Chains A and B, each alone.
Chain A
Amino acid sequence: MLNHFLHSQLALGIAECIVTALVALLVMLLARRRAPGLLKELPIAEIRGVAQIVAVGAILAFMLRGPQWTSLLVLTAMMLAAASIVRKRAKRIPRAFMLALTAICAGAGAVLAIMIFLGVIPLRITMLVPVGSMVIANTMNTQSLFLDRLRGEVTSHVGEIESALALGAGADAALLPYLSAAFRACLIPSIDNIRSLGIVWIPGIMAGMVLSGASPLFAALYQFVVLTTIFSASALACFISSHLVTRRLFTAQEQLVLR
């Protein structure tokens, strides 16, 4: 309907952004009693998100004319920003920024490097930046979920963890059940994304490739590649994070810090 009133592509895009942002706000307004804090967070997140994505669009437009290596700079900046966002979700976990940065760089970085080396992701700015950003963003979400859930598990099981320590268990053994619960919970969305692929949703990359004239079959296969890459990066980042986090939750004397 909007295109009846707005004829320039830019005006139409802005109008669509406003409408979808308002719809999201309306939904959160309806559900405000469930999580009042989120209603305040959403407008800020929306304004921030749209400003960032427009900035990235402008940078991409500029970079398309520049050398290939600039894409690495963009991906590095994205990883730094992702770690900073994870840190905010991982309140009370000591040195969470470095933890998240290490996990995201190692998880997303290693998986992306393997995919580039194998030629699965072409070393072109137009492919590397969008696909890389998707991998990093999903790894960031999984990290946030993992650390948030782990903090919840630990703070609600302080008695059990200290009972295990008091029986002579090491920090790793005392934390293991709660690490496993957090690990499992944070990867459920990624597994469900792969499981429901094509049935519940047709993700953006496939839609975009088909719209730009690629073979639907190749687009479908490539979409699977991207989703499994995202899963591998997320799982690897969480695996690394689960090893690093124990040393942050316990002292060298195996005393629980987060209580």
Chain B
Amino acid sequence: MPILACQQLGRTLPSPESRTLLEDVSFTLERGEVLAVVGPSGAGKSTLLRLLNRLDQPTSGTVCLNGTDTRTLMPRELRRRIGMVMQRAYLFPGTVARNVAFGPRQHGQTISPEEIDSFLTHVGLAGYASRDAFTLSGGEAQRVAITRALANQPEILLLDEPTSALDEAARHGVEQLLESLIRERHLTCVWVTHSIEQARAMADKVLALEAGRVSAYGPAAEVLHA
């Protein structure tokens, strides 16, 4: 059974806008697979991710997580199980440690300082736990955002162009970090990216979107070769 299965997923804005953002998107994702979502700006890539963790409401189609229709799950439970890293870090006021512990705390779990240190060491931020989150550089902040999402131990990680707001040097570092995390932890990811090279290097499957519809879907080698 696929860990994630989308069937004819779509979203149309209510009137007066009545604009279709995404239409008839279907795909499946097996555990440990990486699906790259590519396409031009405005194609509906971010919309797709927001429908998967229901930050926006689909107006058609279904999303199944391990065979369970996500409409039957509480939004909080769904979002704990499907984590997300956005284009910008959007850290919360307070220390880095407080940011990392935020997700588990929402579900009544405590995360020890040692665990936080271990998480941070793993993303190249050893000794950052007590730092004020607002004093970090863009690249450091995005590393904290990735750590914060992983602290929830999600079954699937949604990456919404997590390096697009970073400068060249920081982008390279964060991309390398994500690649090593995905390989080491066998993370199941849906990765929205503009970079065909990145998709070729990391993705098992590619979903290409254009004007809210699927223009190509299949194994990365096939889609990117065509």
Contact = CB atoms under 8 A, between A and B. Distances in A.
Interface of A: 159-160, 162-170, 173, 177, 251, 253-256
A164 B84 CA distance: 10
B90 A168 contact: no
A139 to B, nearest CB: 30
B219 interface: no
Interface string B138-165: 0000000100110010000000000000
B107 A168 contact: yes
B102 interface: yes
B53 A166 contact: yes
Given A167-B103, A168-B103, A170-B106, A254 B57 contact: no
B75 A166 contact: no
B180 to A, nearest CB: 23
Contact of A159 (B53, B57, B88, B107): B88
Contacts of B84: 166
Contact of B56 (A159, A168, A169, A255): A255
A251 B56 CA distance: 10
A169 B75 CA distance: 9
Most buried by A among B75, B103, B148: B75
Nearest to A250: B75
Contacts of B152: 167-168
Nearest to B88: A159
B83 interface: yes
A168 B55 contact: no
B194 interface: no
Contacts of B93: 177
A166 B83 contact: yes
Given A169-B76, A177-B92, A255-B75, 7 more contacts: A168-B77, A168-B80, A168-B103, A170-B106, A253-B75, A255-B54, A255-B55
Contacts of A256: 55
Interface in B80-108: 80, 83-84, 86, 88, 90, 92-93, 102-103, 106-107
B79 interface: yes
Given A168-B77, A170-B76, A251 B57 contact: yes
Nearest to A163: B90
A167 B79 contact: yes
A166 B79 contact: yes
A165 B55 contact: yes
